Chain A
Amino acid sequence: MKLMAKRHAWLSVVVLTVACAEDVTAPGACPDYCPAINIQVVDSIVPGSIERDSSYRGYVDPHEAIRMEVSRGGVAESRVVMRFFPFPEEINSDSIVAIDSFQISLSLRKRSADVSDVELAIFRLPPDVDAAMTFQELDPFFQDSTKLGTLIVPDSVTSGTISAVFPGTALANLATDSMVAAIGVAFGPTLTGFAHLTAIDSDSAATWLARYAQVDTASGELAEASDSVRVEMDTYVFPEIPPPDPTVLAVGGAPAARVLMRTVLPAYIVDSAHVVRATLILVPAGPALGAPGDTVFVRAQPLATDVGPKSPFLDALSDTLMLGKADIPVGAVEPVRIDVTHIVARWRNDPDLPRSFILMAGFEGQSLAEFRFHSSEGIESPIMQVTYVTPAFSGVR
Chain B
Amino acid sequence: MRKALVGALVICCTIPEASQAQSSVYGILGLGFPGRPIGTRTRAGGGGMAMFDARSVLNPATAAGFQRISVAVVSGTTLRNYTVLDSTVEGLSDTRSPIGLIGGSLRRTPVSFALSYSTYLERTYDLFTEDTVVIRNEPIAVTDRISEDGAVVDIRGALGVRVNSWLSVGGAVHVLSGSSKRSTQRDFSSPDYFRVLDTDRLTFSGLGFSAGVLASLDPRLTVAAAIRSDGKLDTGLDSSTVGQFDLPLSYAAGLTIVPVPAVRLATTAIRTTWSGVSADLAAIGGANAFDHTWDIGTGVELGGSSRSGRVPLLLGFRYAQLPFSPTLEQPTEMSFSGGTNFVFASGRVLFDLSVERILRDGGRAEERAWYLSFSLTVSP
Residues of A within 8 A of B (CB): 1, 4-5, 8-9, 11-12, 14-16, 18-37, 39, 41, 43, 274-277, 339, 341-342, 345, 385, 387, 389, 391-397
A130 to B112: give the CA distance in the assembly, Å.
Answer: 99
- Whether B192 contacts A396 by the Cβ 8 Å rule is no
Interface flag for B344 (CB, 8 Å): yes
- Whether A12 contacts B146 by the Cβ 8 Å rule is no
Question: Digit string of B112-139 for contact with A (CB within 8 Å is 1, else 0)?
Answer: 0000000000001111110001011000
- Whether B194 contacts A4 by the Cβ 8 Å rule is no
Chain A residue at minimum C-beta to C-beta distance from B200 = A393
Interface flag for B218 (CB, 8 Å): no
Given A12-B6, A395-B242, A397-B287, A33–B353 Cβ distance below 8 Å? no
- Whether B85 contacts A29 by the Cβ 8 Å rule is yes
- Whether A32 contacts B198 by the Cβ 8 Å rule is no
A197 to B251: give the CA distance in the assembly, Å.
Answer: 88
A274 to B284: give the CA distance in the assembly, Å.
Answer: 25
Chain A residue at minimum C-beta to C-beta distance from B23 = A24
- Residues of A near B221 (CB, < 8 A) are none
Given A15-B10, A24-B23, A393–B192 Cβ distance below 8 Å? no
- Whether A341 contacts B194 by the Cβ 8 Å rule is yes
The 9 tightest CB contacts between A and B, nearest first, are A29-B84, A395-B242, A28-B127, A397-B286, A21-B93, A395-B243, A32-B326, A392-B184, A28-B129
- Residues of A near B68 (CB, < 8 A) are none
Within 8 A of A (CB), among B61-94: 75, 77, 79, 82, 84-85, 87, 89, 91-94
A200 to B242: give the CA distance in the assembly, Å.
Answer: 64
Q: Which of these, B133, B194, B235, B364, contacts A277 with CB under 8 Å?
A: B194
16 interchain pairs (CB within 8 A)?
A9-B2, A11-B342, A15-B374, A21-B94, A24-B92, A24-B94, A26-B125, A27-B129, A33-B26, A35-B127, A35-B148, A39-B196, A43-B136, A276-B196, A393-B200, A393-B237
Size of B's binding interface in residues, CB under 8 A: 75
- With A11-B6, A18-B372, A26-B126 already in contact, 19 other A-B pairs whose C-beta atoms are closer than 8 Å: A8-B2, A15-B6, A21-B95, A25-B128, A26-B92, A27-B127, A30-B129, A32-B365, A33-B365, A34-B146, A41-B135, A342-B194, A345-B194, A389-B186, A389-B196, A392-B184, A396-B245, A397-B281, A397-B287
- Residues of B near A41 (CB, < 8 A) are 133, 135
- Residues of A near B344 (CB, < 8 A) are 1, 4
Chain B residue at minimum C-beta to C-beta distance from A9 = B2
In angstroms, how far is the closest chain A Cβ from the Cβ of B200?
Answer: 6
Chain A residue at minimum C-beta to C-beta distance from B83 = A29
Q: Which of these, A19, A28, A274, contacts B196 with CB under 8 Å?
A: A274
In angstroms, how far is the closest chain A Cβ from the Cβ of B104?
Answer: 26
- Residues of A near B135 (CB, < 8 A) are 41, 43, 277, 387
Given A34-B146, A274-B198, A29–B25 Cβ distance below 8 Å? yes
A115 to B48: give the CA distance in the assembly, Å.
Answer: 91
Given A11-B351, A32-B84, A395-B235, A276–B193 Cβ distance below 8 Å? yes
Chain A residue at minimum C-beta to C-beta distance from B77 = A18
Give the interface centre of B9, B148, B188, B196 by most chain A CB atoms within 10 Å: B196
- Whether A19 contacts B28 by the Cβ 8 Å rule is no
Interface flag for B29 (CB, 8 Å): yes
Interface flag for B260 (CB, 8 Å): no
Residues of B within 8 A of A (CB): 1-3, 5-6, 9-10, 12-13, 23, 25-26, 28-31, 75, 77, 79, 82, 84-85, 87, 89, 91-95, 124-129, 133, 135-136, 144, 146-148, 182, 184, 186, 188, 192-196, 198, 200, 202, 235, 237, 242-243, 245, 281, 284-287, 326-327, 342, 344, 351, 353, 363-365, 372, 374
A43 to B82: give the CA distance in the assembly, Å.
Answer: 37
- Residues of B near A16 (CB, < 8 A) are 9
- Whether A20 contacts B13 by the Cβ 8 Å rule is yes
A205 to B171: give the CA distance in the assembly, Å.
Answer: 87
A15 to B12: give the CA distance in the assembly, Å.
Answer: 12
In angstroms, how far is the closest chain B Cβ from the Cβ of A209?
Answer: 47
- Whether A397 contacts B284 by the Cβ 8 Å rule is yes
In angstroms, how far is the closest chain B Cβ from the Cβ of A39?
Answer: 6
In angstroms, how far is the closest chain A Cβ from the Cβ of B314?
Answer: 16
In angstroms, how far is the closest chain A Cβ from the Cβ of B101?
Answer: 20
In angstroms, how far is the closest chain A Cβ from the Cβ of B320?
Answer: 19
A393 to B237: give the CA distance in the assembly, Å.
Answer: 10
Q: Which of these, A35, A392, A394, contacts B28 with CB under 8 Å?
A: A35
- Residues of B near A396 (CB, < 8 A) are 30-31, 202, 235, 242-243, 245, 286
A396 to B277: give the CA distance in the assembly, Å.
Answer: 11
- Residues of B near A22 (CB, < 8 A) are 93-95
A393 to B198: give the CA distance in the assembly, Å.
Answer: 9
- Residues of A near B342 (CB, < 8 A) are 8, 11
Given A18-B77, A24-B124, A389-B186, A5–B87 Cβ distance below 8 Å? no
- Whether A27 contacts B87 by the Cβ 8 Å rule is yes
A5 to B344: give the CA distance in the assembly, Å.
Answer: 9
Q: Which of these, A24, A29, A31, contacts B126 with CB under 8 Å?
A: A24
- Whether A23 contacts B91 by the Cβ 8 Å rule is yes
Give the interface centre of B5, B6, B13, B94 by most chain A CB atoms within 10 Å: B6
A26 to B92: give the CA distance in the assembly, Å.
Answer: 8
A23 to B92: give the CA distance in the assembly, Å.
Answer: 5
A20 to B192: give the CA distance in the assembly, Å.
Answer: 39
- Whether B77 contacts A395 by the Cβ 8 Å rule is no
- Whether B374 contacts A395 by the Cβ 8 Å rule is no
In angstroms, how far is the closest chain B Cβ from the Cβ of A264?
Answer: 21
- Residues of A near B75 (CB, < 8 A) are 19
- Residues of A near B363 (CB, < 8 A) are 32
- Residues of A near B374 (CB, < 8 A) are 15, 19
